[in-house]
Structure 1
Amino acid sequence: MTTESTSNVISSERVEATAVYNQAGDKLGSIDDLMIDKMSGQVRYAVLEFGGFLGLGTDRYPLPWNMLKYDTSMDGYVVPLDKNVLEGAPRYTQEQVPDYTTDYNRRVNDYYGVTW
């Protein structure tokens, strides 16, 4: 991902596949998708692809967008999470994307302790 830009916006195409690290510098996975609020146009979740081996058996973990901070030195996003926190987090397979209902959003945000 090229970070040499003066713009405050970025194409979702450039966000997808960007690496995600924890604060210790361990790579957790990469962004598979963005979930955008239809009414406000705001990104609500970055869906982290995590687990598995060589892309097989990976699950998707919706992370509240405001948890991610871009780190130019790592050319990726950093989240304040350890791998063991993700192991108990809400997740789904690529084939079974849930409906992002109010209840589901609350479940995800409550898990991470994020208000919405």
Structure 2
Amino acid sequence: MGTDDPAGTSVGVDNIEASRVSGTAVYNTDGDHLGHIHDLVLGKRDGKVKYAIMSFGGFLGIGEEYHPLPWETLKYDERQGGYVVGITIDQLREAPRYAAGAAPDWDLEYGRRIDDFYRPAYI
């Protein structure tokens, strides 16, 4: 299935396999490279992507932090070959995040905190 399709379009024009999202670059609207998609958070019951976990900072995995971004804040830009989010690097430094090896509890309160921080970016 994927061997004849190097662009990975075999699942459809607007669809992508989750394994291909991991590692995709993330930029802000100014074109600054912010990080890359580390993982995705899915709704257990509805199966929809809720958050993209973006790695930010660090070097060779040391000092790296993870920023959960509401999936709705990301727009794919074919020219850049990555996702774009409407946030500056300074704003990102204030965003909800966690250190490698210290994943949060994905409870309602944590989700609300993330959504409230990013709400202006996707209303």
The two structures have a TM-score, normalised by structure 1, of: 0.91
1:102 alignment counterpart: 108
Is residue 18 of structure 1 aligned with residue 24 of structure 2?
Answer: yes
> Residue 11 of structure 1: CA displacement?
1.1
Is residue 5 of structure 1 aligned with residue 4 of structure 2?
Answer: no
Is residue 77 of structure 1 aligned with residue 83 of structure 2?
Answer: yes
1:65 alignment counterpart: 71
- Pairing partner for 1:88 from 91, 94, 100: 94
Give RMSD over aligned pairs: 1.8
* Count of residue correspondences: 115
Quick check: which one's helix share is greater? Answer: 2
Q: Deviations over 1:74-93 (max 9, x none)?
A: 00000001000110111111
Letter in 2 for 1:40: D
Letter in 2 for 1:76: G
Query: Partners of 2:90 and 2:69 in 1: how far apart?
Result: 15
Q: Which runs of 4+ in 1 moved over 6 A?
A: none
Identity score, percent: 45
The two structures have a TM-score, normalised by structure 2, of: 0.86
Query: Partners of 1:36 and 1:23 in 2: how far apart?
Result: 25
